[in-house]
Amino acid sequence: MEKLEQLINNQIKDWSLDQKFYKDKEIFNLEIEKIYMNSWLLAGHESQIPNPGDYFLFNLLTESVIIIRGKDGLIRAFMNVCRHRGSHVCLESKGNVKRLTCPYHAWTYNLEGDLVAAKNLSVDIDKKTLGLHNCSIELIQGLILINFSDRPKSVEMMKQELSEPMQMFGMKDLKIAAHRNYSIDANWKLTVENYNECYHCAPAHPEYAKSHSLKYDESSEEYELAQKPMKETLDKCGMKDYDIAADYDVQIESQEQYAYHRYALFGGYLTGSEDGKALAPLIGDISDYNPGASDFSLGPVSFLLAYSDHVVAYVFTPVSHHTSQCDVYWMVDKDAKEGGDYDIERLIWLWDVTTKADERIIVNNQKGVNSRKYSSGPFSEKESTEKRFISWYLDQLRETL
């Protein structure tokens, strides 16, 4: 891959990527192998499958994973590939089963993935060796993460460091109140880059900028000033101040990258709502509404945004080298009742309107990047997370050479 090496070496530090990184199918295939098949991906929440036999599928390009709760209550992940001749075993995106029976020739697996029935199979064949292939899975405070690698990077440090702030928001005791899937006609990196920077927040997201102080430059005085009421009331709200920087050089190599940072909402806003009023009952250890929003990064393409009364989860995945999708989940306390304790339309308003705006921005970004006149441009000082993402990305590609 001499050409790729040259492309990587020609990249100016802290400038946007060359057009080929956004258009070339061969580079895309490399990225999938190196990044998507090796990173921990947020697949869902354990509350989606409360009973034995409950399952849902997580699909990514050629891969499909069955995430299922066993009779013993444990959650496991299996590749959705029959060990007979390879058919998908589960066809419905979610459901409840006593056993997993392949629709082709009816090979049947138990909830632990063992092959338990295969008619007319020679007695010489050992069924024990023909269980469904496992997919790596980790549960962090109720969140389900999967990894397609057989030797995945460790999530131990991420688990240790993020567990406390996650507990503060009671992540284990949440449920998914709403899920939306947004298709975006753009390369997946443009979607992740967009999520990683708030340089565009002030001009592009009036709904967000009205209430969220991250629209300011984080080193500015106005930003600092805005944080005061949020920080000063943390204690009274039963919350702690954490700041876990996404310092990829410090985080031990071969461990998944992660981060946590809280910033203030403007006066009058208790949460990420249109009118500033509460959207749902308080979550976790939180005893009063604190005017802030907490950003979590879980690996390179999965993110959480936590308010006092709900959590929004984002996962970006590619559909092809020029199309992507963004799955957004709104989570509230598991005991909260729809209609009485929260209203779906009010709950999803901010991040639905903001994600739809992002979808437009990102598609327009791709259109310009496709032009023969596109050339790499310099990142601003307010795009530091994006700068880190790009240099991490280039390092990943370099490792494939």
For the bound state, the minimum distance from the C-beta of residue 248 to ligand FES, rounded and expressed in Å, comes to: 42
Alpha-carbon gap, residue 227 to 230, rounded angstroms: 5
- Contact yes or no for 271/289 (Cβ under 8 A): yes
- Nearest residue to Fe ion, using CB? 358
For the bound state, the minimum distance from the C-beta of residue 83 to ligand FES, rounded and expressed in Å, comes to: 8
Within 270-289, the residues that bind ligand FES by CB under 6 A are none
In a 3-state reduction of DSSP, which class is residue 94?
A: strand
Which one of Fe ion, ligand FES, none interacts with residue 34, CB within 5 to 8 A by kind?
Answer: none
In a 3-state reduction of DSSP, which class is residue 58?
A: strand
Alpha carbon separation from 333 to 192, 239, 322, 343 (Å, rounded): 28, 17, 37, 13
Among 27, 57, 79, 82, binds ligand FES (CB under 6 A): 82
Alpha carbon separation from 250 to 244, 245, 395 (Å, rounded): 11, 9, 15
Q: Which is nearer to ligand FES, 105 or 179 (CB)?
A: 105
Which one of ligand FES, Fe ion, none interacts with residue 169, CB within 5 to 8 A by kind?
Answer: none
Alpha carbon separation from 381 to 301, 304, 385 (Å, rounded): 22, 23, 10
Which one of Fe ion, ligand FES, none interacts with residue 358, CB within 5 to 8 A by kind?
Answer: Fe ion
CA-based angle 265:327:97, to the nearest 5? 130
User: What is the size of the binding site for ligand FES (CB under 6 A)?
Assistant: 10
Asked if 25 interacts with ligand FES (CB under 6 A), we say no
Cβ-count burial of 175 within 10 angstroms (0-12 exposed, 13-18 middle, 19+ buried)? middle
Alpha-carbon gap, residue 169 to 22, rounded angstroms: 37
Q: Which is nearer to ligand FES, 105 or 334 (CB)?
A: 105
In a 3-state reduction of DSSP, which class is residue 293?
A: strand
For the bound state, the minimum distance from the C-beta of residue 98 to ligand FES, rounded and expressed in Å, comes to: 17
Among 23, 37, 63, 84, binds ligand FES (CB under 6 A): 84
Alpha-carbon gap, residue 317 to 327, rounded angstroms: 8
Q: Which is nearer to ligand FES, 104 or 288 (CB)?
A: 104
Q: Which part of the chain contacts ligand FES (CB under 6 A), choosing from 85-93, 130-138, 229-237, 355-363? A: 85-93
For ligand FES, what does the binding mask look like between residues 98 and 127, x meaning CB under 6 A? ----x-xxxx--------------------
Closest by CA to 22, choosing from 392, 358, 376, 301, is 376
Alpha-carbon gap, residue 136 to 142, rounded angstroms: 16
Q: Which is nearer to Fe ion, 54 or 358 (CB)?
A: 358
Asked if 85 interacts with ligand FES (CB under 6 A), we say yes
Beta strands in 21-118 (DSSP E): 41-45, 54-60, 63-69, 75-79, 94-96, 100-101, 108-109, 115-117
Asked if 327 interacts with Fe ion (CB under 5 A), we say no
For the bound state, the minimum distance from the C-beta of residue 34 to Fe ion, rounded and expressed in Å, comes to: 26
For the bound state, the minimum distance from the C-beta of residue 201 to Fe ion, rounded and expressed in Å, comes to: 6
In a 3-state reduction of DSSP, which class is residue 156?
A: helix
For the bound state, the minimum distance from the C-beta of residue 134 to ligand FES, rounded and expressed in Å, comes to: 18
For the bound state, the minimum distance from the C-beta of residue 43 to ligand FES, rounded and expressed in Å, comes to: 23
Within 332-361, the residues that bind Fe ion by CB under 5 A are 358
For the bound state, the minimum distance from the C-beta of residue 53 to ligand FES, rounded and expressed in Å, comes to: 19
For the bound state, the minimum distance from the C-beta of residue 40 to Fe ion, rounded and expressed in Å, comes to: 23
Spell out the residues 6+ positions from residue 109 whose beta carbon is closer than 8 angstroms to its own: 78, 89, 99, 100, 101, 115, 116, 131, 132
Query: Which residue ranges make up the site for ligand FES (CB under 6 A)?
Result: 82, 84-87, 102, 104-107
Query: Which residue ranges make up the site for Fe ion (CB under 5 A)?
Result: 358
